[in-house]
Amino acid sequence: MAAGSPAPAQSSHSGVSAQRGSTCSAEQVESIAANVPSHSGSCYGDAVVDIVALSPAVQNAEVSSRPTDEEIIAQENAIRASEAEKLGFVGDIEPLVALEKEYEAGSEVFVRKIRSLESSYRSMRRTRGDGNCFFRSFIFAYMEVLVATNDLAERNRVVTCLRQWRPKLMETGFQELVFEDALEVLIDQLNSLGTAEPLTVRQLEDNLRDASLSPMIVMMLRMLDSAEIQRRGDFFYPFILGMSDEATTVEQFCRRYVEPMGEESDHVHIVALTDALQVPIRVVYLDRTAMPGEGGSSAVATYDFTPAGCAGTPPRVHLLYRPGHYDVLYPALPAPPSVPAAST
């Protein structure tokens, strides 16, 4: 399932707002998703051969020499996996100019949009593009803020929330034996804040880069996501129908597109996770689409995912979305207040 744009679902959830409060409709979801470039199919370059003009023998040879769709998909997956392995699960902090350089030779629209971001964001942190990037970006960014601010009240709140999910997960059909270790690992990470030797950002980086620990935490978040969607199936089902050409149930959707590791995330996943943990997030959407009004092709779309219980709470997590991938964004520090010059 191709990753769609981060756009809202709206019902008991307070809604997903764009540009500080305006509600995003289902039509906007479809409009944004329509602008995500498709990576399916194959490209054989600019040269075009008119097979009709060739002899049957040459035609057959030409056709037989072409790779099958299965071979093309396998090759694309191998390339994608190879590129993903070059980056750890979580990268280092980089200035936004590093991202800008990636597009200097290709897309002027991307370059202009990245430059426009620099007034609001100072840097970014990449995550591996392995289909788990949303969940990994979310939990790293959330915990990094807790570490930086030593916000023990928020730590206590989310730990209580996670413990309350234990019976809910079992009610949804998850066996405690399957999730109990992963749940305790996540809670232990959070509880390490505020101790005699509190968790540091460096330790958090090491933990989320660990080949055993990082996937376990992502797996736990996927189970929470699935349980939230299934518990509120009536709310999510209309959006699930719009994401698949196949007839499916909420449970089938979760088994196929939410729980498996490596499956990309859509707006349904985002709404479910923010609601499950009551953590508001902001997603900055970077693509080639020109926004209406001032700014045009240099303006970026911004979507806030705010649970009903968090109305008025600023986003705790900021993510950058490029078609098919999420990274962490760091807001620019506010300018210090001006100090009047001393009179002489």
pLDDT tops 60 at residue 31: no
The architecture (CATH level 2) of 16-31+87-331 comes to Up-down Bundle (1.20)
Tokens of 224: 């929470």
Please give the pLDDT value at position 50: 34
Q: 4 near 267, Cβ under 8 Å?
A: yes
Domain layout of the chain by residue ranges: 16-31+87-331
- Residues 234 and 232: their CA atoms lie apart, in Å, by 6
pLDDT at 344: 44
In this predicted structure, the answer to whether residue 6 has a pLDDT above a threshold of 90 is: no
Single pTM value for the model: 0.74
Q: Given this model, what pLDDT does residue 102 score? A: 86
Average pLDDT, the chain: 80
List the catalytic residues: 130, 133, 325
Ranking 35-49, 106-120, 293-307 by mean pLDDT, the lowest is 35-49
pLDDT tens for each residue of 258-312: 999 999 999 999 999 999 999 999 999 998 877 665 555 678 899 999 999 999 9
Place of tokens 């995912």: 305
Q: Average pLDDT in the 246-269 region?
A: 93
| More confident call, 198 vs 171 | 171
Half-sphere exposure in the Cβ direction for 8 (13 Å, CA): 26
What pLDDT was estimated at residue 298?
76
Does the pLDDT at position 70 exceed 80? no
